[in-house]
Structure 1
């Protein structure tokens, strides 16, 4: 698949201009572009040959469908439908356009420990994003640093719901629940039932990692051992590593990381409501950045 082929296909199918490669990860290519003169990004996902083609195409369509249904400043906006592209050599792809965000992905901002204000913003803003998902009965399922972007104004935006599932349309119980190692919930173990409360656990992991530099549940070693730790071990209390952490922030993170789902915030809506009641570090200005 040559760049000139990609450019021509995107210009013809999505009416974008000024295309330039930005990033590549796995089978996904991201290109900067303009849509009606406005900066945007085009995402291109290569479709494998064989039966997996249908699954990958459905995943791309699911991602765009979910984003199109959400209107929140904390969730990346999609600007087009999914189109299918054909290239020489029998290569096929799915493509769509999203808004272009400034700043950097959270995974690029973990080289130093975060301060408490920054972590509080992360929880408040991603909590708002999850509330938008959960209100539609959609579970993100892959809340990892690669899928959270920190903008230049200090706010956070949730991206890439390619692994999301709609509770009312799809049964979530199964042998395999996708997600990123180290950022899975206890419900991600084989046979588990991933629910909105599982996204809450993953948000707790992000906050814990930002403040301590380590993951609360070690994912190293054989996968079976990791799943056993998720099922049987409690996450350490955040104050054990951050002795001077504000009480409201520690209480929020610790509750997100409860092993038993019923002891966590049940969804993003409940988390946001609790944050709005807190006066200490969760001030109202964090919700309005």
Structure 2
């Protein structure tokens, strides 16, 4: 009989489960204590039905390996990958991650769009994280508000569960497309290989939603997305008159249908960061009144100053002394 997950259970003779803090279709997230390093971590435990599939466990292990290479302030740190074999032979597969404290951007957006200055800051930090991943040849493939955590030290990009290498096939063996339809780049519907530009499109959708409270092409299924892309009007930010034009331009360029027309994640980060930093305060001259010093007796300073030499070079004159009176 498979051992159930419960508070107090020890996985891999190291990770003590404390309490469940999240769940999804593919995994359950637990808070746990690493008893070797004496720290609290997050354990992403794969659903039993998926952990039974060696191919799927391999995908999760590759996710952990890829994410562990990424050391960046706006990427969630991955510490370990582990598997335990239960008495009945079943396998528990899990990824050990940095435990974060904060709020998902998805939940934050239920209250409406962000102030444009905050939206730009979030977009710049996500773009920075993506640029770091792209430099290592990794495409995230699922940039959505549900995978962005707002923390006290800035945003953190989560879940590299469907990340892959640049140039890898974008579909699984059954021809299925990964991702969240409303955030998926148009070319992915045609099975184009994974490229950094697909992440940039998703970033453009996320930024558009953070600014306006809505995605450019609402869709819950691939069919709805195809229909929205075919008939929907092009996205616009014209209803945000206070938004700096360069911010609107970089967002809309990220949403270009042609991947070649999109900027890189690094270019997006640079453009947004230019409008997210506080302006330098104007300098001012401050006049401080001073009290006059009490009068003192003048001091006499004597300096020896050489007199100019006469026109005849063969005759040398003795130096003359000059006396100057300088108040102390």
TM-score of the aligned structures, taking structure 1 as reference length: 0.84
Aligned length: 272
Q: Distance in 1 between matches of 2:226 and 2:278?
A: 38
- 1:8 is aligned to 9
Change (3 A) 1:233 1:191: farther
Cα RMSD between the aligned structures? 2.5
- Tell me, yes or no, if structure 1 residue 41 matches structure 2 residue 39: no
5+ residue gaps, structure 1: none
Larger of the two Rg values belongs to structure: 2
Q: Which has the higher helix share?
A: 1
Q: 1:282 aligns with which of 266, 269, 276?
A: 276
Q: 1:272 aligns with which of 254, 265, 269?
A: 269
- 1:73 is aligned to 73
After superposition, the C-alpha distances for 1:58-88 in whole angstroms (9 at most, x for unaligned) are 22112211111111011000111x2222335
Q: Distance in 2 between matches of 1:24 and 1:207?
A: 26
Deviates more, 1:89-98 or 1:129-138: 89-98
Change (3 A) 1:233 1:34: same
TM-score of the aligned structures, taking structure 2 as reference length: 0.75
Q: Distance in 1 between matches of 2:199 and 2:56?
A: 22
After superposition, the C-alpha distances for 1:178-216 in whole angstroms (9 at most, x for unaligned) are 101211111220423331011011011111112222110
- 2:236 is aligned to 237
- 1:27 is aligned to 26
Change (3 A) 1:192 1:230: farther
Q: Distance in 2 between matches of 1:233 and 1:200?
A: 20
Q: Distance in 1 between matches of 2:231 and 2:55?
A: 33
Q: CA deviation at 1:55?
A: 2.9
Change (3 A) 1:138 1:235: farther
Preserved CA contact (<8 Å) 1:47 1:57: no
Q: Distance in 2 between matches of 1:233 and 1:165?
A: 30
Q: Distance in 2 between matches of 1:263 and 1:75?
A: 26
- Residue aligned with 1:178, SS: coil
Change (3 A) 1:148 1:252: same
Specify which structure has the bigger relative contact order, considering alpha-carbon pairs within 8 angstroms and separated by 6 or more residues: 1
